[in-house]
Amino acid sequence: MTTVHELQTPALLLDPKALDSNIQVMAEALPGNRLRPHVKAHKCTAIAGRQRAAGHSLFCCATVREMEGMAAAGFGEDLLLANEVLDARRLGVLDARVTVAVDSEETLDAAARGGVGEVLIDVNVGLPRCGCPPGQAGALADSARRRGLGVRGVMGYEGHIVGVVPRVEREQGCSASMEILLQAHADVGGELISAGGTGTYACNAWASEIQAGSYVLMDTAYANLELPFVQAFWVLATVISLGDGFAVADCGLKALGMDHGNPTIQGARVWFCSDEHVTFVPEEPVAVGDRIRVTPAHVDPTVAYHEVFHLVDGEQVVDRWPVDLRGW
């Protein structure tokens, strides 16, 4: 049996027991269709299968490639592309129920031309990213219906709130965002109010479904919120050089999502990351060739850098799952 010491590094490690624990905790909090797991966090149909086994059969995607991969793997019961696209031709031919987020006449045109039959009106609830102004949501829904599209409801992501550390502030911010979304929903209609994420899953009582994804694997940013989920994945690295009081391992910017800050290494202080390296100060001496586990600060982009999860039990590699939803 292969051990972690035989893997080429950097390599993605996954603890299946921790994964299953996280999935079960979330399933108890948001059973069935209360949760629409976001596969952008793990990009892996094997993990999606575990989520479906726990009662979650509706899924959320961020890219056309994720939608295609989920449909091909038999997860096409109800797929939401929670993102605007201007070329939906690959979506209209999928063997799946496909819903696409729209926030403009142009994205409505793309959905109609691509053969997509259903949309969600994406509303800006405070995060300056995608989403139409709340006051325009009703008119956009009317336009969609005139084009023959089914309007399932509204979507709004309070992404500027999900990482706020003080829980009271996070709850207040979520409430303010959802008040905006509910006002837009009154103009739009439809059965869905789709919102939320791992950071607000427990305080968003307004949405009909929560689009959480990171909870399955976790990262250091979400760990700061004291959520009931445990770290389930790491990047395995090898110490390749020693300096005067510091060490260097082969895990840098090309293996880690860095937009939320430096990764962490247990028993060490990370100084900085460069393209292929992480420089850190260990509390105890390390040697060239030692294997270390690096905990990323942001799960989603970290997973996107890798092709396979190595499932581990201690230091034993017990299985491998491809990150088969990578790409665009």
pTM for the whole structure: 0.97
What percentage of the chain reaches a pLDDT higher than 70?
A: 100
Q: pLDDT (tens digit, 9 = 90+) per residue, 222-267?
A: 999 999 999 999 999 999 999 999 999 999 999 999 999 999 999 9
CB neighbour list of residue 89: distance below 8 Å, 6 or more residues apart = 113, 114, 115
Region 299-319: what's the mean pLDDT? 97
The answer to whether the CB of 295 falls within 8 A of the CB of 40 is: no
CA 30 vs CA 33, 46, 289: distances in Å? 8, 21, 44
Instruction: Give the model's pLDDT for residue 1.
Output: 75
Within its chain, how far is the Cα of 99 from the centroid?
18
Region 151-170: what's the mean pLDDT? 97
- Beta-sheet pairing, 291-295 with 308-313: unpaired
Region 147-164: what's the mean pLDDT? 97
Region 10-20: what's the mean pLDDT? 98
122, two tokens: 């994406």
Classify residue 85 as exposed, middle or buried by CB count within 10 Å of its CB (0-12, 13-18, 19+): buried
What percentage of the chain reaches a pLDDT higher than 90?
A: 99
Average pLDDT, the chain: 97
Region 181-194: what's the mean pLDDT? 98
Instruction: Give the model's pLDDT for residue 328.
Output: 86
Instruction: Give the model's pLDDT for residue 312.
Output: 98
Which residue ranges form the domains of the chain, and what is each CATH number?
A: 4-13+229-322 (2.40.37.20), 16-216 (3.20.20.10)
Within its chain, how far is the Cα of 59 from the centroid?
11
Phi then psi dihedrals of residue 122, to 5 deg = -85, 125
> Can you say whether residue 233 is alpha, beta or left, with left for phi > 0 and alpha for psi between -120 and 50 degrees?
beta
Classify residue 1 as exposed, middle or buried by CB count within 10 Å of its CB (0-12, 13-18, 19+): exposed
Q: pLDDT (tens digit, 9 = 90+) per residue, 164-183?
A: 999 999 999 999 999 999 99
- What's the CA gap between 114 and 98, in Å, rounded? 11
Instruction: Give the model's pLDDT for residue 296.
Output: 98
Instruction: Give the model's pLDDT for residue 298.
Output: 97
Query: Alpha-carbon torsion 305, 9, 288, 313, what sign?
Result: positive
More confident residue, 208 or 328: 208
Phi then psi dihedrals of residue 92, to 5 deg = -65, -20
Please report which confidence band the pLDDT of residue 106 belongs to, taking 50, 70 and 90 as the band edges: very high
CA 201 vs CA 129, 208, 210, 321: distances in Å? 20, 11, 6, 27
